Structure 1
Amino acid sequence: MRSLNLFFVAALHFIYARADFSVFTNDDAYDAAEYGLFPIQTYTSTDLVSPRLNILQSSPECDASLFTFLSPRGGAVSDATATILDQSGHLVWTIGGYDQIYNLMVQEYLGEQYLTFWAGNDAVGGHGAGFYYMLDTSYREVRKIPAAGGLAGDLHDLRITEDGTALITVYEVVTADLTELGKSSQGELWDCLIQEINIATGELIFQWRAAEHYRIADTFKDIGDDGGIGRAFDFFHINSVAKDPKGNYLVSSRYMHTLTYISGETGEIIWILGGKKNMFTDLSDGNATDFAYQHDARFADNFTGVSIFNNAVDDPHPYLAPYSRGLHIKLDEEHMTAELVGEYINPNHVRAVSQGSMQVLENGNVFLGYGNAAAFTEYAANGTVLCDAHFGPQIRFGSAEVQSYRAYKYAWHGWPLTDPEVSILTDTSDNWNFYASWNGATEVDAWILQGASDPEAGEDQWEDLEAITKTEFETQFAILELYPKYLRVLAVDKEDIVLGVSSPLDAAEEKIWSLPPLRLEGNDTWALKFLMAFAALTGVIVGSREAWSIWRSRRKGVHWEQVEQTDIRLD
């Protein structure tokens, strides 16, 4: 029986023991989904997982000092996460455990840096009902911000202003006259709001409603069967909000194909760019105002222009353009002209049916996230592609199996309150190794492996065995026969200051019981099926053996209790 158990352990080890993979590089098989719908990186020291990228293009001109911020989710992703990756595609930090996560960012509040994101239910008519979260540099949740007036916070945007306020988007069902669209005069409508809220007090400072300023018939959205009771019509679909130093607001409407500039004093519309009520003369033959279903509108060029992610496509509508792209538009508010001065086009001409983002970095580069297409790309200011990566297969873009609402790049410094995670396991060559990682610890420059014969003997009894510069999320040390029984690691920064110390492991004991974490994603169901089949076979063998023993004992007139005692003595 003991040998059978050990064989079962060995089978688990064979199936699930995985080394720290490298990213793929321009791999056609990846984009053909031959590695699954969501290729992931697993680790030995922790059960965390992260996307395993396919890097199609890289350049030293990309800003390597910044991390990439994603919120992967979708049908092929078992747990929606907020995830930070470094320039090489290695994990920096990740967290899950929420229903859905959108819009991971770094924002400043009262002089301090915070991670911010939305989490909640995203299956509410194309928008969300949830809260906005703020995590400090130790990854502690310090704020959970609700919308004002008892409404639910929408997933599309949270922007923290220099005044310590939060700009958010909100959706609310209201009664509206829909006769212009062939519906009832008492129909149901999703009204779109922006709210500015005092983060410290929750006080509502400003609120604006789209239905009070836009004709519903100006939408490009087909009403179809919507508009009745329980089927509110989403005519506007707000998806970003920004504020300028004048105190005015910029709002993006997906279904109006517009950017609207709103007075912060009266709420009245100052100007509209794009859509049926466009107020600007287009100096670029229509290319500055013909955007559609766009996302992430931001002020640019010291508030003399705007940047947007132009989806140009939508599920139920024909393609208005052959692909999605980033747009940089110069505005002359005195003469009311608009001019396209920059566009950013992915070399694979990616079509992002929904979501997406455009970010102008401090060095002038432009970073695009492709929303429901699992890609992000960094461009030079002139539109030259510098770095391009996929975190899901291109053949499945648009399927909603792997997506991230936005993708951004930021500088970030994190000091987690947890200890480094460690484990001992064999590699593919049957050599024993010590593995170390630390979720969110951005300042670790090197790991130092230490050993001691007695973990309680005092700090001076721990001797340095080996030091390795940290280059990836998980670091691996080979365990030599001459090493002491107990092992641990120190995480040190560039000044050799100790940032963290792991718990000690008994190497001899770990070699007996260590198993890698079990985690299945994407197309890994074959492994689960193999494991289930193996477990079933094991059960049959064990059950047959015990039944045979019982049958033989009864034939001989021996009681079962005696058989148990005999078996114990024989073992």
Structure 2
Amino acid sequence: MAATLSSSLLLAVVRLCVATDSVYNDDLASYVTRPDLRPPKIEVHTHDPSAIAPGYWFVAPYSHLEPEPYTKKFIPCQVGPHIYDNTGELVWSGACKFKNRNAFDFRPIDGGSEPRLSLILGDVLEIGAGMKGMYVILNSSYQTVQALPAPAGSSMIDMHEFEVLEGGQRALVIAQKAQLLDTNPIAGTVGAMWVLNNGFLEVDMMTGGTVFEWWALDYVDLGETYTVPPRGPGTFESPWDFFHLNSIDKNRDGDYLISARNANTVYKISGSTKEVLWRLGGRTSTFQLEGFNFSKQHDARFRPSGNTSGTSISLLNNAAHDDELESTSAVLLFSLDESTMPFTARLEQKWSRLDGKVSRTRSNAQFLDNGNVFANWADRGYINEFTADGRCVLEARWLSGRFNNYRAFKAHFAGYPSEPPVLSAHAYGTTLETMTTVFHVSWNGATDVTSWNFFGSLAGSPADVRPVGSVTKSGFETMHMAAGLFRMSYAEARDAHGVSLGRSPITSTTISPAVLDLLGKISLSATPGAPPSAVTSPLTESRYSTSSDAVGTSRVMYDVLSTPYAIAVLSMIVLACFLRKFLKWRSLRLRS
């Protein structure tokens, strides 16, 4: 009785100790089967579950926009393209595939014969050379099927836009190049001046050739900017960014809609003459804005219009200019009337950022098929999903303040990874009667899995494998426990109709020699037919933390803790844990 009570109390204290320690490292997920993946956790609040649109979230967390130096150090995969579900559970991580490189504008696209994914892969700095960014297309197995470099004439890859047009034959991208001007018309002085010239291109996805090309300095005056020009001439590496093009869209008439953040203006460009057809907002607006204003905007898009005399436009108003009348970023939908002079723009609907803050940079908004609006506010990956009438039904953000997200999208997608599922099996217990095998299984990117079947061998022979159990899929990684020591096992994925989708390779079970030596109750010969090679390296503390679903049951922990020696050892661990907490707390107090 005393041993039971003491071990139970100690188990509770150990769990408390680990739980408090997770405060310092609880913003990244971890998995037994994929210790290389540490995706950012998402905190999700649902305000009306019945009104939330179905679909997956396509995001790409990053920590720093600037290209980072290449390193040979091991870094857990946490940056790059990711897919999550509506509960914030990871579905697919492409961080390892792209070696932790920044990715932007990650989204599902119409690939013609099959669904595909597109993304912009950022630059990486290497010793002696740069690893250039690419425009990348993935198939439904997450394999790269196309990779296009930055367009000719552009100094580097631009992170803002990679819109693959219907059918996947063409795409819209943004280009930039530093250009030396002879005069500085803003400052009224004569002399050379470096200016960043923004442009956009429509490219042929098959050949990489340019179908249409437009550059701002050919059609836009420098006086339209709201940014202050530099005092000196600037440099090729740091030219004056007077325009800052951040989105492109194309309508069925073949004309283009572009957003220039530093001009606070949306431009309509003729697809035939390249001339500016009109300006919306900014210093020389063609329209009178009725009931709204915007600044530092992103993601301007053509929208289906019920107005026969005009056009409907949406954009995300960052409201980040010093003179902006609005105090909260918002998604705006407005109609344009070009039938009479002066032209007018009328606000039709507005979806304001739920927490009342301002997104000073980045952000986008997606209009979903059910009428909802999926708004990404960028900072910490903050997301709101609204109904058409303005109710927020979902909000989410990274738990970590270290990550942001440029754009987010929501859509249906079916992923069929080319790599097999991954199974991990570990045995716990102190006697043959209490031995338990704990299975963990995952399949990165497999969207159709609804259940897992487990098969194992007590004798450690493939010929002796038999069904062990079945369990409903739960999150990215699913756990199952079975009584007995199954020295060899595999897992099979099944869909909602019971059809087999794939199976993991046969895996040997990891047994902890430390536990066996500590208790001295089980020898390797206790189980007939078990070869010595079935025993692998000892369990590690980080992979078997009691704060994770990766551990065994309380019964297994009780077996381990119910010896006086184990209690003494773990008591010392607990004391060391609390001492570490005290030192961390004291360090924080001294800093503050």
Place the TM-score, normalised by the shorter chain, in its bin. Answer: 0.7 to 0.9
Q: Could you tell me how far 1:311 is from its partner in structure 2?
A: 0.8
1:36/1:243 CA distance change after superposition, 3 Å: farther
Q: Could you tell me how far 1:282 is from its partner in structure 2?
A: 2.2
Of residues 73, 78, 92 in structure 1, which corresponds to 2:62? 73
Deviations 1:219-257 (A, max 9, x none): 011223464233310000000101111011010100011
SS at match of 1:217: helix
Instruction: Identify the range of structure 1 (228-237 vs 147-156) with the bigger mean alpha-carbon deviation.
Output: 147-156
Of residues 353, 368, 387 in structure 1, which corresponds to 2:375? 368
Equivalent position of 1:166 in the other structure: 171
Equivalent position of 1:235 in the other structure: 242
| Partners of 2:229 and 2:399 in 1: CA distance | 33
SS at match of 2:253: coil
Q: Is the 8 A contact 1:226 1:232 kept in 2?
A: no
Equivalent position of 2:501 in the other structure: 499
| Partners of 1:158 and 1:37 in 2: CA distance | 34
Query: How many residue pairs get matched?
Result: 479
Of residues 429, 444, 447 in structure 2, which corresponds to 1:442? 447
Task: Map residues 206-245 of structure 1 onto 2, 5 A cutoff.
Answer: 206-225=212-231, 227-230=233-236, 231-245=238-252
AA partner of residue 202 (structure 1): G
1:161/1:475 CA distance change after superposition, 3 Å: same
Of residues 291, 295, 303 in structure 2, which corresponds to 1:292? 295
Q: Could you tell me how far 1:403 is from its partner in structure 2?
A: 0.3
Q: Is the 8 A contact 1:18 1:43 kept in 2?
A: no
SS at match of 1:41: coil
| Partners of 2:113 and 2:52 in 1: CA distance | 24
Of residues 391, 402, 406 in structure 1, which corresponds to 2:398? 391
Q: Could you tell me how far 1:374 is from its partner in structure 2?
A: 2.8
| Partners of 1:292 and 1:453 in 2: CA distance | 67
Q: Could you tell me how far 1:454 is from its partner in structure 2?
A: 6.3
Of residues 29, 47, 62 in structure 2, which corresponds to 1:41? 29
1:38/1:371 CA distance change after superposition, 3 Å: farther
Q: Could you tell me how far 1:514 is from its partner in structure 2?
A: 4.3
Deviations 1:443-488 (A, max 9, x none): 1110111113567645xx532221111131110011312x543121
Report whether the alignment pairs 1:105 with 2:107. Answer: yes
AA partner of residue 457 (structure 2): A
| Partners of 1:500 and 1:247 in 2: CA distance | 45
Q: Could you tell me how far 1:53 is from its partner in structure 2?
A: 1.9
Equivalent position of 1:568 in the other structure: none
Q: Could you tell me how far 1:99 is from its partner in structure 2?
A: 2.8
Of residues 486, 489, 492 in structure 2, which corresponds to 1:487? 489
SS at match of 2:217: helix
Deviations 1:476-511 (A, max 9, x none): 011312x54312110111121111111222224467
Report whether the alignment pairs 1:143 with 2:146. Answer: yes
Report whether the alignment pairs 1:462 with 2:450. Answer: no
1:450/1:312 CA distance change after superposition, 3 Å: same
| Partners of 2:486 and 2:380 in 1: CA distance | 50
Q: Could you tell me how far 1:185 is from its partner in structure 2?
A: 3.6
Q: Is the 8 A contact 1:100 1:119 kept in 2?
A: yes
Equivalent position of 2:92 in the other structure: 93
Task: Map residues 164-313 of structure 1 onto 2, 5 A cutoff.
Answer: 164-176=169-181, 177-182=183-188, 184-225=190-231, 227-230=233-236, 231-284=238-291, 287=292, 290-302=293-305, 304-313=311-320
Q: Is the 8 A contact 1:62 1:378 kept in 2?
A: no
Q: TM-score, normalised by structure 1?
A: 0.77
Q: Is the 8 A contact 1:69 1:84 kept in 2?
A: yes
Equivalent position of 1:564 in the other structure: none
1:426/1:238 CA distance change after superposition, 3 Å: farther
Q: Could you tell me how far 1:203 is from its partner in structure 2?
A: 1.4
AA partner of residue 95 (structure 1): G
| Partners of 1:361 and 1:232 in 2: CA distance | 38
Deviations 1:270-323 (A, max 9, x none): 111111111112232xx0xx2111111111124931111111116xx5765312
Give the fraction of aligned pairs with identical amino acids, expressed as a percent: 26
Instruction: Identify the range of structure 1 (254-263 vs 52-61) with the bigger mean alpha-carbon deviation.
Output: 52-61
| Partners of 1:410 and 1:468 in 2: CA distance | 27
Q: Could you tell me how far 1:179 is from its partner in structure 2?
A: 3.1
1:485/1:283 CA distance change after superposition, 3 Å: same
Equivalent position of 2:3 in the other structure: none
1:38/1:475 CA distance change after superposition, 3 Å: closer
| Partners of 1:147 and 1:334 in 2: CA distance | 40
Q: Could you tell me how far 1:360 is from its partner in structure 2?
A: 0.3
Report whether the alignment pairs 1:324 with 2:319. Answer: no
Q: Could you tell me how far 1:66 is from its partner in structure 2?
A: 0.3
1:250/1:319 CA distance change after superposition, 3 Å: closer
AA partner of residue 55 (structure 1): V
1:232/1:430 CA distance change after superposition, 3 Å: farther
Q: Could you tell me how far 1:75 is from its partner in structure 2?
A: 5.3
Q: Could you tell me how far 1:35 is from its partner in structure 2?
A: 3.8
| Partners of 1:109 and 1:226 in 2: CA distance | 47
Equivalent position of 2:565 in the other structure: none
Equivalent position of 2:571 in the other structure: none
| Partners of 2:491 and 2:466 in 1: CA distance | 11
Gaps of 5+ in 2: 1-13, 66-74, 126-130, 512-533, 545-575, 581-592
Q: TM-score, normalised by structure 2?
A: 0.74
Instruction: Identify the range of structure 1 (245-254 vs 426-435) with the bigger mean alpha-carbon deviation.
Output: 426-435
Of residues 153, 160, 185 in structure 1, which corresponds to 2:157? 153
AA partner of residue 187 (structure 2): L
Q: Is the 8 A contact 1:98 1:119 kept in 2?
A: no
Task: Map residues 537-552 of structure 1 onto 2, 5 A cutoff.
Answer: none
Q: Is the 8 A contact 2:153 2:177 kept in 1?
A: no
| Partners of 1:184 and 1:427 in 2: CA distance | 79
Cα RMSD, aligned residues only: 3.3
| Partners of 2:407 and 2:114 in 1: CA distance | 23
Q: Could you tell me how far 1:57 is from its partner in structure 2?
A: 3.3
| Partners of 2:197 and 2:81 in 1: CA distance | 29
| Partners of 1:518 and 1:220 in 2: CA distance | 53
Report whether the alignment pairs 1:416 with 2:389. Answer: no
Q: Is the 8 A contact 1:310 1:327 kept in 2?
A: yes
Deviations 1:349-376 (A, max 9, x none): 1221110010000000000111134310
1:53/1:409 CA distance change after superposition, 3 Å: same
Deviations 1:406-437 (A, max 9, x none): 11101110000111112134799996521000
Task: Map residues 505-524 of structure 1 onto 2, 5 A cutoff.
Answer: 505-507=507-509, 508=511, 509=534, 513-515=538-540
| Partners of 2:62 and 2:369 in 1: CA distance | 28
AA partner of residue 158 (structure 2): D
Deviations 1:135-172 (A, max 9, x none): 10001001101233253331100111125101000111
| Partners of 2:204 and 2:355 in 1: CA distance | 43
Q: Is the 8 A contact 1:181 1:217 kept in 2?
A: no
Report whether the alignment pairs 1:60 with 2:49. Answer: yes
1:309/1:426 CA distance change after superposition, 3 Å: farther
Q: Could you tell me how far 1:64 is from its partner in structure 2?
A: 4.9
Q: Is the 8 A contact 2:151 2:175 kept in 1?
A: no
Task: Map residues 100-139 of structure 1 onto 2, 5 A cutoff.
Answer: 100-121=102-123, 130-139=133-142
Q: Could you tell me how far 1:402 is from its partner in structure 2?
A: 1.6
Q: Is the 8 A contact 2:32 2:543 kept in 1?
A: no
